[in-house]
Copies of this chain bind each other. A is one copy, B any other.
Amino acid sequence: MRLTTMTDYAIRLLMYVGQHPERLCTISEVAHAYEISEAHLMKITHQLGMSGWLETVRGKGGGMRLAAAPADINLGGVVRSVEPDFFIVDCLASDTVCLLTGNCQLTGIISGALHSFLQYLDRYTLADLLAPATESTAQIWPVTFGKRPSVSAC
């Protein structure tokens, strides 16, 4: 289960820009820092601008900055605004016809699980992402997922 690359990079783009509050950041430098294409980042920047998370300044010396304080950029809100859809299973898509006989509760239960996922993200903002890791979040990886990936920074 994954968020799209679009949302993944959108979060990281906001983190990068949030780490440089003293100046405008350019697409070129973020593309270089994350080793991703400028074309991809331009789409993401545009989307984040449309959603009110980023401001862009055109022209020579231009770039982007956060449109609000990191504490006012809600993580759940960012994910909802960038992720193209939340069709966790096919039958959540509006153009799907169920081939099972009779009613089932799959969509209701999956929607409830998705709601829990997004509600959890709603508790956090970009300011939390940028804060030094604490015991409470750094060790949250539950044992039921198996071995925690060996990534220490990010």
- Partner-B contacts on A (CB < 8 A): 1-5, 7-8, 11-12, 15-16, 19, 33-35, 75, 80, 83, 85-94, 96-109, 111-121, 124, 128-134, 136-142, 144-145, 149-154
User: Given A86-B145, A109-B137, is A4 in contact with B1 using a C-beta cutoff of 8 Å?
Assistant: yes
Provide the bound-state CA to CA distance between A15 and B91, in Å: 14
Specify which of B88, B96, B107, B140 is in contact with A111 (CB 8 Å cutoff).
B140
Report whether A102 and B153 are in contact in the complex, using a CB–CB cutoff of 8 Å: yes
Report whether A134 and B154 are in contact in the complex, using a CB–CB cutoff of 8 Å: no
Name the residue on B nearest A100 (C-beta): B154
Specify which of B15, B35, B75, B90 is in contact with A100 (CB 8 Å cutoff).
B15
Within 8 Å CB of A94, what residues of B?
Answer: 149-151
Provide the bound-state CA to CA distance between A112 and B136, in Å: 10
Least CB distance from A144 to B in Å reads 7
Provide the bound-state CA to CA distance between A83 and B131, in Å: 31
Least CB distance from A23 to B in Å reads 15
Within 8 Å CB of A133, what residues of B?
Answer: 103-105, 108
User: Given A8-B90, A35-B99, is A151 in contact with B104 using a C-beta cutoff of 8 Å?
Assistant: no
